[in-house]
Chains A and B, each alone.
Chain A
Amino acid sequence: DGGITQSPKYLFRKEGQNVTLSCEQNLNHDAMYWYRQDPGQGLRLIYYSQIVNDFQKGDIAEGYSVSREKKESFPLTVTSAQKNPTAFYLCASSIEVRGLDTEAFFGQGTRLTVV
């Protein structure tokens, strides 16, 4: 089945540690996105990528890093510089970013808890 997979579903880390969230898609989509969702808040865009080896900062990129070495994969690293890393993280993909009338497909999310 085609889709977008995030792993793990739940992740616990100690404060000060970097952690990498996985996102893989087999939809052959060029565009991939990372969002963060906090209780009572909407989805806030962290980073997005339009093509392999290229990515752009979203509205809340500070404390995060990404890579796009393969079309299928867009991992997100939450660094120790991120002040409030505990949140629900969502990865999405679409055919292309500038194909504005194309839907986004979301993964099931990773709930990160930093203690």
Chain B
Amino acid sequence: SQKIEQNSEALNIQEGKTATLTCNYTNYSPAYLQWYRQDPGRGPVFLLLIRENEKEKRKERLKVTFDTTLKQSLFHITASQPADSATYLCAPTLSNSNSGYALNFGKGTSLLVTP
């Protein structure tokens, strides 16, 4: 069955360092992958989308890579700030799940940036 795996353990880093979050998927080949940020008690907010023919995408302090051979996406936040503390969700698009083409999400990785 198809799986989306994100680090289940929270990631704690010091302010100013680069945070790297991992999203692995198995048993399918998504054409796109999206990353979202979710704060406690709120809905997710879209951050970045990367297509399978794009190896890397950047937006301000954010960088996403997409390795279709490794079936993995990495999400980097450079010069991290305490305000970056949140849960980050990846959403590879699935084309043959029970959900049709609807977005399916990983469980998310919690990031805590300490001053």
Contacts and interface: CB of A to CB of B under 8 A. Distances in A.
Interface of A: 31, 33, 35, 40-43, 45, 48, 56-59, 88, 90, 92, 94, 97-98, 100-101, 103-109, 111
A63 B43 CA distance: 23
Contacts of A90: 43-44
B79 interface: no
B99 interface: yes
Interface residues of B, number: 27
Given A100-B101, A101-B51, A103-B34, A40 B107 contact: yes
Contacts of A111: 41
In the A-B complex, the 6 residue pairs with the smallest Cβ-Cβ separation, listed nearest first, are A106-B43, A42-B107, A103-B46, A43-B105, A48-B102, A100-B93
B105 A33 contact: no
Interface of B: 4, 31-32, 34, 36, 41-46, 49, 51, 89, 93, 97-108
A61 to B, nearest CB: 9
Contacts of B49: 101, 103
Contacts of B98: 57-59
Given A40-B107, A42-B89, A43-B105, A104 B46 contact: yes
Contact of A48 (B34, B99, B107): B99
A3 to B, nearest CB: 10
Contacts of B105: 35, 42-43
6 contacts: A33-B102, A48-B99, A103-B34, A104-B34, A107-B43, A108-B42
Nearest to B34: A103
A100 to B, nearest CB: 5
B32 A100 contact: yes
Given A40-B107, A100-B32, A101-B32, A45 B43 contact: no
Given A42-B108, A43-B89, A101-B51, A58 B46 contact: no
Contacts of A40: 107
A109 B43 contact: yes
A92 B101 contact: no
